[in-house]
């Protein structure tokens, strides 16, 4: 399972959350404080926690899904998850 829903995310306690959107997107609103744009993730592998769940998100989940695939394939990181629906799902969850 490579995905996590927003409902599951809000129940998690000790996780790392990484926004792979561009800086201007992150600056307009975010879930956590770590921003590593998609194009820089592989060069920033040392910033990704290897000991706990890591949730990767973007605006809708497409970019984050690709990043999760790359991290699982290239670095065998089984602890990385894509936030289903991305930041939009987070915003919708906050509104309900």
Give the pLDDT confidence of 57-72 residue by residue, as tens digits: 999 999 999 999 999 9
Q: Is the sign of the CA dihedral 80, 82, 88, 92 positive or negative? A: negative
- Write b or e for each residue in 2-37: b if 16 or more Cβ atoms lie within 10 A of its Cβ, otherwise e: eebebeebeeeeeebbbbbbeeebbeeebbeebbbb
pTM for this model (two decimals): 0.94
* Mean pLDDT of all residues in 5-16: 93
Domain ranges in the chain are 3-95
CATH of domain 3-95: 3.40.250.10
The pLDDT value recorded for residue 94 is 73
């Amino acid at each position: 399972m490579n995905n996590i829903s927003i409902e599951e995310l809000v129940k998690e306690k000790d996780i790392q959350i990484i926004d792979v959107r561009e800086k201007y997107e992150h600056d307009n609103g975010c879930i956590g404080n770590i921003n590593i744009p998609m194009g820089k993730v592989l060069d920033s592998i040392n910033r990704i926690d290897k000991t706990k769940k890591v949730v990767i998100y973007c605006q809708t989940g497409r970019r984050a899904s690709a990043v999760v695939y790359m991290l699982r394939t290239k670095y065998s990181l089984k602890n990385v998850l894509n936030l289903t629906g991305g930041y939009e799902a987070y915003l919708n969850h906050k509104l309900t």
